[in-house]
């Protein structure tokens, strides 16, 4: 199912983009050439749509958007202003998740610490409280509204009306751990009388609450899920979220080497690549059918393949080709993971570099 943007711009199309998380950090540290390099790579690949962070909680980074006590940090917000302004200047659109399940750049655990006002900022906290503690919900609601109503000091554009923002996302890879107890019963009638957290019930009610924040802030753009697309395992039940009607599109993060580690034991590499492609094709077909059932498009907004420190280029190419073809078969948008500035260390083994000619040609063509 193609995606349709809101308002007068609305034309059905299948998005083609890339992931690139470092943009806000670069802006906060004054690294303008690195931002321009990433935008240039996106254009060179014919994928001028980037999914990047609109979250950064706590710490001392000049790019943080919220301080450890929850107050907004104006220099960091000005850095986000710059990312939006430079994206507009370079003809690049953005998908912006406003929260992170993981601890990178603060994340959910940092928000829990904010609202707890714990004397020891390093003490262990229950990360999953981000999804059901009323104080976390209020803090995240306020943050979303503050972003949407902010006027960019460079362009004068209100974030919630800026056409540079293709879409917002509720959270990057929202999921629950195994901690018990739920405080979210007041947000959704079906939760009355239920006491334990559940990947479906808890995240579905949380998604409804967060969508209310986007509506309260007057967002004129699409609002997507941002999750990995699990169906009840790994602490996520995307179907329960879609059933609420809280999001405008579903998302899939596809890393078969992580979800199906047995693939890494298959030899030779050509058989391993073929097996990985079959796993990917089945997952894409299933999630595309699920999204259609609820009348929303699907974005395969993170995907990649590696076997360790020395992934064979031909193997990676074969798997990526299979993933892209599966997405095209089902009308699914694609944002492979990931691009960054030239010379950046490949921290997760999934960087797409300009010198990788064959992979670049594939991404440009598909």
211-237 pLDDT, tens digit per residue, is 999 999 999 999 999 999 999 999 999
Q: What class does CATH assign to 3-365?
A: alpha beta
CA-CA-CA-CA torsion sign (322, 324, 329, 335): positive
Average pLDDT over residues 260-268: 95
pLDDT at 279 (0 to 100): 98
In the chain, what percentage of residues exceed pLDDT 90?
86
pLDDT at 177 (0 to 100): 87
Q: pTM of the predicted model, to two decimals?
A: 0.93
> Is the per-residue pLDDT at 79 higher than 60?
yes
CA-CA-CA-CA torsion sign (81, 83, 88, 90): positive
> Is the per-residue pLDDT at 252 higher than 60?
yes
Distances (CA, A) of 326 to 46, 219, 220, 320, 364: 19, 32, 31, 10, 16
In the structure, what pLDDT confidence band is assigned to residue 3 with cuts at 50, 70 and 90?
A: confident
For tokens 């714990």, name the residue: 118
In the structure, what pLDDT confidence band is assigned to residue 117 with cuts at 50, 70 and 90?
A: confident
Average pLDDT over residues 40-46: 97
pLDDT at 119 (0 to 100): 63
Extents of the domains making up the chain:
3-365
Return the bridge partners of 300, or none. Answer: 252, 334
Provide the 8-state DSSP code for 209: H
pLDDT at 187 (0 to 100): 34
256-262, long-range: CB < 8 A, 24+ apart: 256/280, 256/283, 256/305, 256/319, 257/305, 257/306, 257/307
pLDDT at 4 (0 to 100): 61
In the structure, what pLDDT confidence band is assigned to residue 347 with cuts at 50, 70 and 90?
A: very high
Return the bridge partners of 16, or none. Answer: 334
Close Cβ partners of 16 (under 8 Å, ≥ 6 residues apart): 46, 47, 49, 333, 334, 335
Measured distance CA(281)–CA(258) in Å, rounded = 16
**C-alpha angle with apex 60: 59 to 64, nearest 5 degrees?**
75
> Is the per-residue pLDDT at 56 higher than 90?
yes
Measured distance CA(236)–CA(181) in Å, rounded = 16
DSSP-based three-state secondary structure for 146 = helix
DSSP-based three-state secondary structure for 251 = strand
Out of 94-108, 173-187, 286-300, which region has the weakest mean confidence (pLDDT)?
173-187
Measured distance CA(19)–CA(336) in Å, rounded = 6
For tokens 């077909």, name the residue: 285
Average pLDDT over residues 20-33: 98
Task: Provide the mean pLDDT of the chain.
Answer: 92
**C-alpha angle with apex 128: 95 to 83, nearest 5 degrees?**
25
pLDDT digits (tens, 9 = 90+) for 183-218: 333 333 333 333 478 888 999 999 999 999 999 999
Asked if residue 62 lies in contact with residue 29, where contact means CB atoms within 8 angstroms, the answer is: yes
Binning the chain into helix, strand and coil, the percentages to the nearest 5 are 45, 15, 45
Q: Give the tokens for residue 335.
A: 């944002």
In the structure, what pLDDT confidence band is assigned to residue 118 with cuts at 50, 70 and 90?
A: low
Average pLDDT over residues 130-159: 97
pLDDT at 198 (0 to 100): 86
Which residue, 112, 167, 120, is CA-closest to 140? 112
pLDDT at 310 (0 to 100): 77
Q: What distance separates the 2 farthest-apart alpha carbons in the chain?
A: 57
Q: Give the tokens for residue 173.
A: 């890879």
């Amino acid at each position: 199912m193609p995606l349709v943007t809101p308002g007068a711009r609305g034309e059905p199309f299948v998005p083609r983009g890339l992931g690139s998380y470092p943009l806000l950090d670069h802006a906060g540290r004054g690294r303008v050439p690195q931002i321009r390099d990433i935008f240039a790579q996106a254009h060179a690949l014919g994928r001028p749509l980037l999914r990047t962070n609109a979250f950064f909680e706590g710490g001392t980074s000049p790019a943080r958007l919220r301080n450890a006590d929850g107050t907004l940090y104006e220099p960091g917000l000005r850095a986000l202003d710059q990312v939006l302004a430079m994206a507009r200047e370079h003809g690049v659109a953005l998908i912006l998740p406003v929260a992170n399940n993981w601890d990178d750049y603060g994340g959910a655990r940092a928000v829990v610490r904010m609202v707890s006002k714990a004397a020891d900022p390093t003490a262990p906290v229950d990360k999953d409280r981000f999804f059901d503690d009323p104080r976390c919900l209020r803090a995240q609601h306020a943050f979303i509204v503050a972003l949407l109503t902010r006027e960019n000091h460079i362009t004068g554009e209100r974030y919630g009306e800026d056409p540079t923002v293709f879409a917002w996302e509720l959270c990057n890879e929202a999921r629950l751990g195994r901690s018990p107890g739920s405080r979210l019963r007041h947000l959704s009638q079906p939760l009355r009388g239920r006491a334990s957290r559940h990947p479906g019930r808890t995240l579905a009610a949380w998604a409804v609450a967060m969508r209310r924040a986007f509506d309260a802030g007057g967002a004129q753009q699409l609002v997507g899920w941002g999750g990995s697309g699990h169906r009840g395992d790994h602490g996520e039940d995307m179907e329960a979220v879609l059933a609420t009607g809280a999001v405008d599109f579903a998302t899939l993060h596809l890393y078969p080497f992580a979800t199906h580690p047995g693939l890494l034991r298959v030899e030779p590499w050509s058989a391993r690549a073929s097996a990985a492609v079959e796993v990917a094709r089945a997952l894409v077909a299933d999630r595309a059918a699920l999204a259609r059932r609820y009348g929303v498009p699907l974005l395969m907004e993170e995907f990649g393949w590696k076997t360790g420190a020395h992934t064979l280029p031909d193997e990676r190419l074969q798997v990526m080709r299979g993933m892209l073809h599966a997405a095209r078969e089902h009308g699914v948008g694609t944002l492979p993971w990931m691009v960054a500035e030239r010379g950046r260390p490949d921290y997760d083994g999934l960087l797409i570099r300009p010198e990788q000619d064959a992979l670049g040609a594939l991404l440009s063509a598909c």
